[in-house]
Amino acid sequence: MMPRMAPRSVTVVGPDAAAAARGRQVLRIGVTGLARAGKTAFLSSAAANLLAPRTGLPVLSRRLAGRLVRVAIAPAGAESMPRFDFRRHLATLAADPPRWPARTEAVSLLALDLDIARPGLARALPPRRLRLEFLDYPGEWLLDLPLLGQDFRQWSEAALARLQTLAPLPARAFLDFLRALPARAGADEPLAETGHGLYRALLNRLREEGGLAMLQPGRFLMPAPGPEPPWMAFFPLQGGGGGLFRLLAARYDAYRRAVARDLVSPGFGRLDRLVVLADVLSALHAGPAAFADMADALGSIAEALRWRRSRTLRLPQLGTLRLPAWLGPGGIGRVAFAATKADHVAERQRASLAALMRAMTLLPDAAGEARAAVFAIAAVRCAEDFVWTLDGGNVAAVRGRVLGDERLTRSYPGEVPDRLPGAAFWAQPFLALPQFEPMRLPDGGAAGVPQIGLDALIGFLLDDVL
């Protein structure tokens, strides 16, 4: 028997055309978040728990009342998007001792097929056939959207002004380079390369050491797959009508065209749902500057979603861009903003964490016409709640195993504010999160992965299709 294959000349990317043809409703869910936000943990846990819904997602399972008849990882078929390596990630979490999946650098897709029996009398009909496609969408890329509305001069001004405010300055090498440039430097390739190298190294340091998120251009930190085009070699430069300025401005525009192209590409151009993850607790520890930076990043993502109100976007020098379907009408129907690693604080504090997330994303109108909600989740729960008697008083703390330590470690990082924190909050330390070990998973994770709030989040995403 001949296997049915997509014709060679057609690259099947984006929502699986073959699945749609076989009568599966395809729902594409973008999962985004900045580096270390918990995207891989989220996808691994979502898959493991959807495969074992009774134990893994009890709330969703009760709601479906036994109607979920079959869940399976969808075969990769002839698609060109790399698959999310679910088996390997789950094996890592289920190892003895458990470990965390390694950092991921590339975009990938996780597809699950669900067959859901119809309710009531319709039960006799064939089941609803649904394909969930989770796309690991780099948060850095969403942060490139605001560039579409800024020309090189405006962007350079804003980027350099931001660098000036970051003290102590790891930016010295780059800023010294800028100062040493002749006023009307010519279009000199080695200069462009050197400046680009210094700027890119700086962005990396700000992310790694400074814990900053609002770093642009995002593709300098998370490049698109494939060889790097020469127009990537630019950096912010102020004033001057010299040849170097013109060269960098031209490269910046080429970069913006690539951003606009990706927005409408079949691989990334269509999303039905969006999950935005952020490690808000770590930002509380990192201090007011890092926290404000995260709020900025979340705000600008929410702002990009507001574009759905207008169908086209007029860009200086780039002409008119027809908005991609997922930003247009009928695009993203639901957006979930989730504060991750919420097992680091006790239950009462998790409610505050969700409220804080709401304040940071300025919901309810943050997502335009899409339905939006906030959550505090732990995709891979590592710690349990526990009342700790400290200095004669009781605090709601948690305890878990820290990586490489057999004993249980107690942790109480501090009180989570339920609104944007003011000076009084920053006067008290909020402790760093210990790196907990995932809980032991019996049967290699076949019964799912312990979680908090993932149940509710997935229920929200799928509410209208279930």
Residues that bind Mg ion (CB under 5 A): 39-40, 104
Angle between helices 189-208 and 172-180 (to 10 degrees): 160
- From the number of C-beta atoms within 10 Å of its C-beta (0-12, 13-18, 19+), residue 213 rates as buried
Q: Cβ of residue 103: shortest distance to Mg ion, in angstroms? A: 6
Neighbours of 18 (CB within 10 A): 17
CA distance 446 to 273: 27
If one asks whether residue 382 binds ligand GTP (CB under 6 A), the answer comes out as yes
User: How, if at all, do strands 371-376 and 334-339 pair?
Assistant: parallel
Closest approach of ligand GTP to the CB of residue 432, in Å: 12
State yes or no: residue 164 binds ligand GTP (CB under 6 A).
Answer: no
Minimal distance, residue 340 CB to ligand GTP, in Å: 6
Is 380 near ligand GTP (CB under 6 A)?
yes
In whole angstroms, the minimum distance from the beta carbon of 73 to ligand GTP comes to: 19
Give the range of 101-109, 210-218, 223-231, 358-366 binding ligand GTP by CB under 6 A. Answer: 101-109
Tell me how many degrees the CA angle 387-93-137 measures, rounded to the nearest 5: 100
Q: Which residue among 11, 25, 104, 352 contacts ligand GTP (CB under 6 A)?
A: 104
Least distance between ligand GTP and beta carbon 382 (Å): 4
CA distance 365 to 338: 16
Q: Closest approach of Cβ 387 to ligand GTP, in Å?
A: 19
Identify the CA nearest to 306 among candidates 349, 370, 357.
370
Is residue 340 at the binding interface for ligand GTP, with CB under 6 A as the rule?
yes
CA 153 to each of CA 230, 232, 257: distance values in angstroms, whole numbers, following the listed order: 20, 17, 16
β-bridge mates for residue 386, sequence order:
397
Contact residue for ligand GTP among 164, 435, 444, 464 (CB under 6 A): 435
Rounded Cα distance, 433 and 416, in Å: 13
**Between 40 and 349, whose beta carbon lies closer to Mg ion?**
40
Decide: residue 355, CB within 10 A, 0-12 exposed, 13-18 middle, 19+ buried. middle
**Alpha-carbon span 88 to 48, nearest angstrom:** 12
455 binds ligand GTP (CB under 6 A): no
* Cβ proximity to Mg ion, 40 vs 216, nearer residue: 40
In whole angstroms, the minimum distance from the beta carbon of 438 to ligand GTP comes to 8
Based on the shown chain and the rule CB under 6 A, indicate whether residue 100 belongs to the binding site for ligand GTP: yes
Task: Among 298, 436, 445, 449, indicate the residue that binds ligand GTP (CB under 6 A).
Answer: 436
Q: Is 40 in the site for ligand GTP (CB under 6 A)?
A: yes
Determine if 204 is a binding residue for ligand GTP (CB under 6 A).
no
Among 79, 113, 272, 343, binds ligand GTP (CB under 6 A): 343
Q: Considering only residues 379, 397, 457, 462, which one is a binding residue for ligand GTP as defined by CB under 6 A?
A: 379
The partner residues of 116 in beta bridges, in order of sequence, read 68, 128
Helix axes 347-361, 288-306, angle to 10 degrees: 60
40 or 150: CB nearest Mg ion: 40
Q: Which is nearer to ligand GTP, 39 or 334 (CB)?
A: 39
- Tokens for 98, please give them: 């458990």
> Which residue in the set 15, 38, 53, 368 belongs to the binding site for ligand GTP (CB under 6 A)?
38
| In the complex, least distance from residue 94 CB atom to ligand GTP, rounded to whole angstroms | 15
101 binds ligand GTP (CB under 6 A): yes
Let me know if 149 is exposed, middle or buried by CB neighbors in 10 A (0-12, 13-18, 19+). Answer: middle
CB-based contact 213:140 (threshold 8 Å)? no
Q: Is 33 in the site for ligand GTP (CB under 6 A)?
A: yes
Alpha helices in 228-373 (DSSP H): 243-264, 280-286, 288-306, 347-361
Closest CB to Mg ion among residues 100, 245: 100
Q: Which two tokens stand for residue 338?
A: 């989730």
Interacting residue ranges for ligand GTP, rule: CB under 6 A: 33, 35-41, 100-101, 103-104, 340-341, 343-344, 378-380, 382, 435-436
